[in-house]
Amino acid sequence: MQFVEVKGRKVPALGFGTYGLDGDEAERMVRTALDIGYRHIDTARSYGNEAAVGRALRRSGVARDEIFLTTKVWHDSLAYEAVLSSVEASLRDLDTDRVDLLLVHWPNRAVPLAATLHAFEDLRDEGKVGAIGVSNFPVALLREAVEEIGADLLCDQVEYHPLLSQTPVLGYLRRHGMMLTAYSPLAQGRVANNPVLAEVGHRHGKSPAQAALRWLLDQPGVAAIPKSGSERRARENFEVFDFTLTDRDRREIDRLQGDGRLVNPGWAPDWDAS
Ligand code: NDP
């Protein structure tokens, strides 16, 4: 396993995403992921699968402190008291006394960001949360959180894959010693049909998805959290530590970078130009 070293912590660079996995399937796949060797699990209050993820963690036999566990607070629960209630419910369902990382899932302009982050900091001070961060924050909101409010954030979790450039956010995070966690790192499966990624992968005996993940994980300060409901693909996504991209491979993948954003709900903020 490769780690991202960020603010004195070591975060497993490759995590397992759980959006869309429910009930028994979520439990089975998180256990499978832990058996394969994943040690970083990404869930969220809104995914409705925290109880299943909690069962998987408990039944896996892997020590809790070997696993980096992230959950998120939904954008309707960002007022101070609502954050505390959301996290209590998450900890109860996950059957754990702390998560390693708590994220603001999406920004919500109707709630002062300072109040949300104050609640996050109080939870961190109480030890219920190891570190705090945000998700889906463009640079303007990162600036507000970090420079105006003074929050000590570990990361911004944003959509990032070979078809979507994140140059401004990545630049900001690097300047402030923070991590970028790439969600939808396989472009929700679309990387599998990309001829350039197929060709790059082929040169190394690897799949297009493996080429995409290697390209992400080669970038300093970047973690990635692919999801799969299949043991075969979860294993394939984990087998990315035994090959190296050449400069030529990287240049070819860099040229795919564009505005291939897939996750853009009505409540999304104004994104940075990509
Ligand atoms: P991904 O980019 O991880 O793609 C998942 C899709 O790709 C699934 O359809 C999966 O199918 C398929 N797939 C998985 N592995 C392979 C492979 N090796 N080859 C081909 N296809 C493959 O998308 P997600 O949107 O799920 O993002 C990953 C995680 O990021 C989420 O699960 C969630 O934890 C997080 N996330 C966070 C968001 C946020 O707002 N903070 C928003 C979106 C995601 P199959 O399951 O059949 O293998």
- Determine contact, residues 183/103, Cβ cutoff 8 Å: no
**Residue-level pLDDT, tens digit, the chain, 274 residues:** 899 999 999 999 999 999 999 999 999 999 999 999 999 999 999 999 999 999 999 999 999 999 999 999 999 999 999 999 999 999 999 999 999 999 999 999 999 999 999 999 999 999 999 999 999 999 999 999 999 999 999 999 999 999 999 999 999 999 999 999 999 999 999 999 999 999 999 999 999 999 999 999 999 999 999 999 999 999 999 999 999 999 999 999 999 999 999 999 999 999 998 7
State which ligand 1 atom lies nearest to the alpha carbon of 210: 18
In angstroms, the CA 20 to CA 63 distance is 25
Hey, which residues are catalytic here?
47
Ligand 1 contact via 90 beta carbon (within 6 Å) = no
Cα(227) to ligand 1 centroid in Å equals 4
Contact residues for 14 (Cβ-Cβ < 8 A; gap 6+) = 1, 2, 38, 40, 213, 217, 223, 224, 225, 226, 237, 238, 240
Distance 184 CA to ligand 1 centre (A): 5
Return the HEC string of 176-211.
Answer: CCCEEEEECCCHHHHHHHCHHHHHHHHHCCCCHHHH
Instruction: Report if pTM > 0.85.
Output: yes
